[in-house]
Amino acid sequence: MEALAVRLSQLDAQVEGAIRVVMFYDTLMRRRVDLPALARASAGLAECVAGIRLHATGRSIRRAPDGGEVPGPAAPASSTVPVVLDEEDIGAVWLERPGTPLPLDEVLLDRLAIAAAAVVERYGPARTTMADPALVELAVSAGTEEAARARALRLLGFAADAPLQAVAVRSPLPLDRIGGLLCPSRPVKAAPLADAGIVLAVTVDRAELPSGVRAGIGTAGRPDLSWRQARTALRFTTERRPVVAHAELGALALLAEVPAETVRANADVQAIARLAEVPQDLRTLEAYCATGSLRRAADLLHLHHSSVARRLDLIGRALGFDLTEPAGLSRAALALTAWRLPDG
Tell me: do 110 and 182 sit in the same domain. Answer: no
- Name the domain count of the chain: 3
* 185 confidence band (pLDDT: 50, 70, 90): low
Does residue 284 belong to any structural domain of this protein?
yes
Does residue 128 belong to any structural domain of this protein?
no
**More confident of the two residues 50 and 76:** 50
Mean pLDDT of all residues in 45-53: 94
Q: What is the per-residue pLDDT for 9?
A: 53
Tell me: pLDDT of 181 over 70: yes
Tell me: do 245 and 280 sit in the same domain. Answer: no
End-to-end CA distance of the chain: 70
Does residue 181 belong to any structural domain of this protein?
yes
Tell me: do 110 and 190 sit in the same domain. Answer: no
Q: Which of 216, 240, 255 is the last residue of a domain?
A: 255
Tell me: do 264 and 250 sit in the same domain. Answer: no
Contact 243, 170 (CB under 8 A): no
At 259, the amino acid letter reads P
Pairing relation of β-strands 88-96 and 79-85? antiparallel
Mean pLDDT, the chain, whole residue set? 86
Tell me: do 20 and 95 sit in the same domain. Answer: yes
Q: What is the per-residue pLDDT for 4?
A: 46
Q: What is the per-residue pLDDT for 220?
A: 81
The pTM of the whole model exceeds 0.75: no
| Rounded CA separation 329/288 (Å) | 8
Tell me: do 91 and 148 sit in the same domain. Answer: no
Q: Which of 70, 100, 123 is the last residue of a domain?
A: 123
* 58 confidence band (pLDDT: 50, 70, 90): low
Count CB atoms within 10 A of the CB of residue 256. Answer: 19
Tell me: do 180 and 210 sit in the same domain. Answer: yes
| Rounded CA separation 312/315 (Å) | 5
Mean pLDDT of all residues in 55-63: 77
Tell me: pLDDT of 126 over 50: no
* 268 confidence band (pLDDT: 50, 70, 90): very high
Contact 231, 215 (CB under 8 A): no
**More confident of the two residues 340 and 166:** 166
Tell me: do 143 and 250 sit in the same domain. Answer: yes
Count CB atoms within 10 A of the CB of residue 28. Answer: 20
Does residue 108 belong to any structural domain of this protein?
yes
Q: Which is nearest to 253 in space by CA: 343, 338, 193, 336?
A: 338
Q: What is the per-residue pLDDT for 48?
A: 95
Tell me: pLDDT of 11 over 70: no
The CATH code of the domain that includes 82 is 3.30.450
* 39 confidence band (pLDDT: 50, 70, 90): very high
Tell me: do 236 and 269 sit in the same domain. Answer: no
Q: Which is nearest to 112 in space by CA: 53, 161, 155, 153?
A: 53
User: H helices within 48-104, ranges in order?
Assistant: none
Tell me: pLDDT of 1 over 70: no
Q: What is the per-residue pLDDT for 94?
A: 96
Q: Which of 91, 123, 155 is the last residue of a domain?
A: 123
Domain that holds residue 167: 133-255
Tell me: do 211 and 266 sit in the same domain. Answer: no
Judged by DSSP in three states, 109 sits in helix
Tell me: do 65 and 44 sit in the same domain. Answer: yes
Per-residue exposure over 326-342, b if at least 16 CB sit within 10 Å of its own CB, e if not: eebbebbbbbbbbbbbe
**More confident of the two residues 231 and 220:** 231
Q: Which residues pair with 130 in a beta bridge?
A: 190
* 343 confidence band (pLDDT: 50, 70, 90): low
Tell me: do 265 and 250 sit in the same domain. Answer: no
Tell me: pLDDT of 344 over 60: no
Q: What is the per-residue pLDDT for 7?
A: 52
